[in-house]
Amino acid sequence: MRITCPYCGTRDVVEFTYQGDATVTRPDPASTDQAAWNAYVYDRANPAGKHSELWQHSGGCRAHLVVERDTVSHVITSVAFAGIKPNPARTTTPKRKSPARKAATRGKAAS
Amino acid sequence: MVGNVKADGAYVVYIGMQSVRVGASAVCRTDGNMAEYSAFSLLRNAFNSNRDWKQAWRKPEPKPSYDVIVIGGGGHGLATAYYLAAEHGISNVAVLERGWLGSGNIGRNTTIVRSNYLLPASTRFYEFSMKLWENLSHELNYNVMFSQRGILNLAHSPAQADDYIRRGNAMRLSGGDAEWLSADEIGRKVPGVDVSGSARFPVVGGLLQPRAGTARHDAVAWGYARGADRRGVDIIENCEVTGFLREGDSITGVTTTRGEIRAAKTAVAVAGSTGRVMKLAGIDKLPIESHVLQAFVSESLKPFVDMVVTWGAGHLYMSQSDKGGLVFGGNIDGYNSYAQRGNLPIVEEVMSEMVAMFPSVARVRLLRSWGGVMDMSMDGSPIITTGPLPGMYLNCGWCYGGFKATPASGFSFAWTIARDEPHQINAPYTLDRFHRGAIIDEKGQGATPRLH
């Protein structure tokens, strides 16, 4: 399985750390609604099929990502930065290298 | 905790001060004059060109209704049906299996049977299971090849040794068996382990449970299937549940690919498919995630290791099968999956751990690998309970440790179904324990299923 990090490009899954279901949302920290906290901590939809999940590119740029993946076929349909609304246009491998990587490559070539 | 056979043939297991009668021994269980499988029947059939063996289980057409439907023809489902018939006299039972019998995790595990747990609820449950294992071949009149070769947990740091010794003491206090071995003793007992100081993760000692071991996983499924079938249970293969029949809130049966089947009680024991099946009943969320676990078998070797060995610096468990293959596995892949196949990083991790533990196997070739879908619960412990809907019973959350639990799971689930209340061994394993804060978190990992 490979995940296309929106910043770094396509990388092997070994570079990423799984962080679970992205659809659960933490209740307001000031909330004392026990049922809402229990549901947030324990209850999962666990779908067979399309699953929205959090991964961190821990062996790369360390960005937190929201990945849409099929749990039956392992096919990934979208990857986006967590906290930013998923944008289907950003799902494919970046055509151009990011400015940071460009700089790094240039540096290498020059040395 | 001990078990023994009484004069009337009943097998009795003691839990603390209480005793529980667990069926009868093989002698009086078989209804005819002699056991269906015996040295004599082997001989007779050998002289008869093996033409007269009866099918181990029938292939019945589903009836329109039963007393109990068990969804899932894996180890736990079959054991449940068996104990319903054998212990509670409920034999008007159908076991519905989506594929063929033994196609799921009962045929995909690394066959390890142990009861080396820390928490009281776990030791009670798994020690009960161990007692059933010790009599299982007799009970079923079917050789499940239960081999009490022992399990050795290697410790690699003084802190880990303390932790293991604590667990060993907990096991002994609850009536189980555990021994602490020094590195030297391990070197003599398991010559293949690298116990030198130059090992990447030096071995400081190990916790041995002598009564643990392995069993032939397919035989467990077949033995329970035959035992249930002979008592009148219908085992219906290639019968996928497509929905539930309801009257108001109550479950009154199922719709399947082979028609509607009604029952007063519907039990779900589908392991990794729990999420899928429960969604059909309108239960959208559970404290369960399905993950994929891979397992591996090497080419056959001469006798190399005569016990189950686990490696404590990572996560690896290994034994040698009677055919000579090294059977081993490690962590789950670590992400939600319903696919019976995994990915390469875990393959690499498991192989590297294997070589760290047994340097001499570095050049052994891998013969097979496969994956199975695990029902990972939020605290690493199972759920065996009535509900969550009226007329429904749920058995799940086995966290890639379900094989060793097969007899106790079936026994206590059958009890729960027959009496509408839990047996004392499964009373803590409710579904609502998560919301009550009564979790049974053996590893202390919290609500992170991939770490259990």
ipTM: 0.85
A18 closest CB neighbour out of B273, B274, B450 = B450
Residue B181 reports pLDDT greater than 70: yes
The C-alpha atoms of residue A89 and residue B447 are separated, in whole angstroms, by 34
CB contact (8 A) between residue B435 and residue A44: no
Q: Which domains does chain B have, with CATH numbers?
A: 3-141+217-287+379-451 (3.50.50.60)
pLDDT exceeds 50 at position B32 = no
What is the average pLDDT value for chain B, to the nearest integer? 92
Instruction: Say what the pTM is.
Output: 0.89
Q: Domain residues for A97? A: 2-110
Q: What is the mean pLDDT of residues B390-404?
A: 95
Partner-chain residue, chosen from A14, A35, A44, that has the shortest CB–CB distance to B288: A44
Interface of B with A (CB under 8 A): 273-276, 279, 284-290, 334-339, 343, 345, 348, 378, 434-435, 447-450
Question: Is the model's pLDDT at A98 over the cut of 70?
Answer: no
Contact between chains at A46 and B290 (C-beta distance less than 8 A): yes
Residue A1 and residue B343: Cβ atoms within 8 Å?
A: yes
> Is B290–A48 a contact, with Cβ atoms under 8 angstroms apart?
yes
pLDDT at B63: 95
What's chain B look like in SS3?
Answer: CCEEECCCCEEEEEECCEEEEEEECHHHHCCCCCCCCCHHHHHHHHHCCCCCCCCCCCCCCCCCEEEEEEECCCHHHHHHHHHHHHHHCCCCEEEECCCCCCCCHHHCCCCEECCCCCCHHHHHHHHHHHHHHHHHHHHHCCCCCCECCCEEEEECCHHHHHHHHHHHHHHHHCCCCCEEEEHHHHHHHCCCCCCCCCCCCCCCEEEEECCCEECCHHHHHHHHHHHHHHCCCEEECCCCEEEEEEECCEEEEEEECCEEEEEEEEEECCHHHHHHHHHHCCCCCECEEEEEEEEEEEEECCCCCCCEEEECCCCEEEEECCCCEEEEEEEEEEEECCCCCCCHHHHHHHHHHHHHHCHHHCCCCEEEEEEEEEEEECCCCCEEEECCCCCEEEEECCCCCCCCCHHHHHHHHHHHHHHCCCCCCCCCCCCCHHHHCCCCCCCCCCCCHHHC
DSSP B21-44: EEEE-HHHHSSSSS-SSSHHHHHH
Contact B345 A20 (CB under 8 A): no
For the cut 80, the answer to whether the pLDDT of residue A106 exceeds it is: no
Residue of B nearest to A42 (CA): B287
pLDDT > 70 fraction of chain A, expressed in percent and rounded? 75
* Per-residue pLDDT at B25: 46
pLDDT, average across residues B415-429 = 96
Q: Which amino acid is at B336?
A: N
Which of A39, A46, A74 comes nearest B275 by C-beta? A46
Number of structural domains chain A divides into: 1
Peptide bond preceding B388: is omega within 30 degrees of 0, i.e. cis? Answer: yes
Q: Which amino acid is at B172?
A: R
Mutation target for A interface from B276, B335, B430, B440: give the one with most A CBs within 10 A.
B335
Band the pLDDT of B31: cuts 50, 70, 90: very low
Please give the Cα distance from B408 to B83 (Å, whole number): 10
Contacts of B356 (CB under 8 A, 6+ apart): B194, B199, B200, B201, B311, B313, B314
| Interchain pair B335, A48: CB under 8 A | no
Please tell me the least confidently modeled range out of B33-37, B81-85, B435-439: B33-37
Nearest residue of B to residue A15 by CA position?
B345
Contacts of B287 in chain A (CB under 8 A): 42-44
Question: Any idea what the Cα angle at residue A22 is, between residues B379 and A10, rounded to 5°?
Answer: 115
CA gap B152, B172 in Å, rounded: 16
The two structure tokens encoding residue B32: 């005819």
Mean pLDDT of chain A: 83
Asked whether the predicted pLDDT for residue A29 surpasses 60, the reply is yes
Mean pLDDT in residue range B306-326 = 95
Per-residue pLDDT, A107: 46
Q: What is the CATH number of the domain that holds A38?
A: 3.30.2270.10
| pLDDT(B264) > 60 | yes
How far, in Å, CA of B401 to CA of B403, rounded? 6
Q: What is the pLDDT of residue A109?
A: 44
- To test the contact with chain B by mutation, choose from A3, A11, A21, A42 the residue with the greatest count of B C-beta atoms within 10 A, namely A42
Query: Across residues B61-68, what is the average pLDDT?
Result: 96
Contacts B335 to A, Cβ<8 Å: 18, 53, 69
* B435/A48 touch (CB, cutoff 8 Å), yes or no: no
Asked if the Cβ–Cβ distance from A53 to B336 is below 8 Å, we say yes
Nearest residue to A80 (alpha-carbon basis) of A16, A3, A17? A3
Mean pLDDT within B7-36: 57
Q: Mind listing the pLDDT tens digit for each residue in B270-303?
A: 999 999 999 999 999 999 999 999 999 999 999 9
pLDDT given for residue B7 in this prediction: 52
Rounded Cα distance, A61 and B262, in Å? 55
Residue keyed to tokens 């991790």 = B349
Pick B336's closest partner by Cβ from A34, A42, A71: A71
φ and ψ at residue B64, rounded to 5 degrees: -65, -30
Which pair of tokens denotes residue B70?
Answer: 């068990």
Percent of chain B with pLDDT strictly greater than 90:
85
Is the per-residue pLDDT at A21 higher than 90? yes
The predicted model gives B335-344 an average pLDDT of: 93
Q: pLDDT band at B387, cuts 50/70/90?
A: confident
B289/A44 Cβ within 8 A: yes
The residue of chain B nearest to residue A49, with distances taken between CA atoms, is B338
Please give the pLDDT value at position B33: 45
Give the Cα separation of B442 and B125 in Å (integer): 13
What percent of chain A shows pLDDT beyond 90? 73
CB < 8 Å to B275, chain A:
45-48
The 3-state DSSP class for residue A58 equals coil
DSSP single-letter state for residue B377: E
A53 in B contact zone (CB under 8 Å) = yes
Work out the minimum CA distance from B373 to partner chain A, whole angstroms.
Answer: 10
Place of tokens 């189950």: B308
Token pair in block for residue B177: 């068996």
Question: pLDDT digits over A50-86, tens only?
Answer: 999 999 999 999 999 999 999 999 999 999 999 865 5
Report which of B353, B341, B347 is spatially closest to residue B366, judged by C-alpha positions: B347
Q: Which of B290, B337, B450 comes nearest A74 by C-beta? A: B337
Chain A to chain B Cβ contacts (< 8 Å): 69
Residue B200's pLDDT is 87
A33 touching B (Cβ < 8 Å): no
Q: Looking at the predicted structure, is the pLDDT value of residue B2 above 60?
A: no
Contact A20 B287 (CB under 8 A): no
